[in-house]
Amino acid sequence: MIEPIEKLHIRPQDLQRLLKFLEIHLPDVDVWAYGSRVNGRSHDGSDLDLVLRSPDLSPIDWDKLNALDEALKESNIPIIIEARDWSRLPESFHHEIAKNYVIIR
Protein backbone atom coordinates (compact mmCIF):
# COMPACT_ATOMS: atom_id res chain seq x y z
CA MET A 1 0.00 0.00 0.00
CA ILE A 2 1.35 3.40 -0.95
CA GLU A 3 1.21 5.83 1.95
CA PRO A 4 1.26 9.63 1.54
CA ILE A 5 4.60 11.27 2.27
CA GLU A 6 3.02 12.92 5.33
CA LYS A 7 2.98 9.45 6.93
CA LEU A 8 6.77 9.36 6.90
CA HIS A 9 8.18 9.85 10.40
CA ILE A 10 11.05 12.23 9.66
CA ARG A 11 11.58 15.90 10.43
CA PRO A 12 10.75 18.15 7.46
CA GLN A 13 14.23 19.71 7.43
CA ASP A 14 15.83 16.24 7.29
CA LEU A 15 13.57 15.24 4.41
CA GLN A 16 14.63 18.37 2.52
CA ARG A 17 18.31 17.56 3.09
CA LEU A 18 17.72 13.98 1.95
CA LEU A 19 16.00 15.17 -1.21
CA LYS A 20 18.96 17.44 -1.95
CA PHE A 21 21.44 14.55 -1.65
CA LEU A 22 19.27 12.35 -3.85
CA GLU A 23 19.06 15.05 -6.51
CA ILE A 24 22.85 15.47 -6.49
CA HIS A 25 23.83 11.79 -6.50
CA LEU A 26 20.91 9.91 -8.10
CA PRO A 27 18.71 12.40 -9.97
CA ASP A 28 16.93 9.82 -12.14
CA VAL A 29 16.23 7.21 -9.48
CA ASP A 30 12.85 6.65 -7.79
CA VAL A 31 13.08 6.44 -4.02
CA TRP A 32 10.70 4.64 -1.68
CA ALA A 33 10.79 4.57 2.11
CA TYR A 34 9.63 1.50 4.01
CA GLY A 35 9.91 0.01 7.46
CA SER A 36 9.31 1.51 10.88
CA ARG A 37 9.36 5.16 9.79
CA VAL A 38 6.49 4.34 7.43
CA ASN A 39 4.43 1.89 9.46
CA GLY A 40 4.32 4.02 12.62
CA ARG A 41 6.55 1.82 14.78
CA SER A 42 9.57 4.12 14.78
CA HIS A 43 11.25 5.88 17.70
CA ASP A 44 13.80 8.70 17.75
CA GLY A 45 16.69 6.27 17.14
CA SER A 46 15.07 4.35 14.27
CA ASP A 47 16.86 4.33 10.96
CA LEU A 48 15.21 5.32 7.69
CA ASP A 49 15.04 2.47 5.19
CA LEU A 50 15.06 3.47 1.53
CA VAL A 51 14.92 1.45 -1.64
CA LEU A 52 16.32 2.96 -4.84
CA ARG A 53 14.75 2.05 -8.16
CA SER A 54 16.47 2.93 -11.43
CA PRO A 55 14.17 3.86 -14.35
CA ASP A 56 14.48 0.40 -15.95
CA LEU A 57 15.03 -1.41 -12.61
CA SER A 58 18.59 -2.30 -13.61
CA PRO A 59 21.41 -2.21 -11.03
CA ILE A 60 22.55 1.23 -9.96
CA ASP A 61 26.25 1.96 -10.38
CA TRP A 62 28.18 1.09 -7.20
CA ASP A 63 30.14 4.36 -7.30
CA LYS A 64 26.91 6.38 -7.28
CA LEU A 65 25.48 4.30 -4.43
CA ASN A 66 28.69 4.72 -2.42
CA ALA A 67 28.77 8.48 -3.06
CA LEU A 68 25.21 8.83 -1.77
CA ASP A 69 25.99 6.66 1.24
CA GLU A 70 29.05 8.75 2.12
CA ALA A 71 27.16 12.02 1.71
CA LEU A 72 24.39 10.79 4.01
CA LYS A 73 26.88 9.58 6.63
CA GLU A 74 28.70 12.93 6.60
CA SER A 75 25.49 14.97 6.67
CA ASN A 76 23.91 16.53 9.72
CA ILE A 77 20.79 14.39 9.36
CA PRO A 78 20.56 12.90 12.87
CA ILE A 79 19.33 9.44 11.84
CA ILE A 80 20.94 6.55 10.00
CA ILE A 81 19.66 6.24 6.46
CA GLU A 82 19.99 2.83 4.83
CA ALA A 83 19.60 2.97 1.04
CA ARG A 84 19.35 -0.29 -0.90
CA ASP A 85 19.21 -0.98 -4.62
CA TRP A 86 15.89 -2.62 -5.60
CA SER A 87 17.56 -4.70 -8.30
CA ARG A 88 19.93 -6.29 -5.78
CA LEU A 89 17.23 -7.32 -3.31
CA PRO A 90 15.51 -10.71 -3.41
CA GLU A 91 12.06 -10.77 -4.97
CA SER A 92 10.57 -11.85 -1.65
CA PHE A 93 11.82 -8.57 -0.17
CA HIS A 94 10.19 -6.65 -3.05
CA HIS A 95 6.85 -8.11 -1.95
CA GLU A 96 7.41 -7.08 1.67
CA ILE A 97 8.33 -3.51 0.71
CA ALA A 98 5.35 -3.26 -1.64
CA LYS A 99 2.99 -3.98 1.25
CA ASN A 100 3.62 -0.57 2.84
CA TYR A 101 5.82 2.22 1.50
CA VAL A 102 6.02 5.94 0.88
CA ILE A 103 7.22 7.39 -2.41
CA ILE A 104 9.91 9.93 -1.52
CA ARG A 105 10.57 10.87 -5.12
pLDDT tens digits, one per residue of 30-49: 999 999 999 988 988 899 99
* Domain coverage including residue 42: 2-103
What integer pLDDT is reported at residue 61 of this predicted model?
97
Q: What is the CATH number of the domain that holds 62?
A: 3.30.460.10
**Confidence band for 20, pLDDT divided at 50, 70 and 90:** very high
Range 7-36 average pLDDT: 96
Q: How far is CA 89 from CA 31, 51, 64, 93, in A?
A: 14, 9, 17, 6
* Active-site residue, from 49, 56, 61, 85: 49
Is 28 among the residues known to form the active site?
no
* Active-site residue, from 14, 28, 44, 47: 47
pLDDT digits (tens, 9 = 90+) for 54-92: 999 999 999 999 999 999 999 999 999 999 999 999 999
**Confidence band for 4, pLDDT divided at 50, 70 and 90:** confident
Is 49 among the residues known to form the active site?
yes
φ and ψ at 82, to 5 degrees? -105, 115
> Between 62-74 and 12-25, two packed helices, what is the crossing angle to 10 degrees?
150
Q: Using a pLDDT cut of 90, give the percent of the chain over it.
A: 88
What integer pLDDT is reported at residue 3 of this predicted model?
76
Domain count, the chain: 1
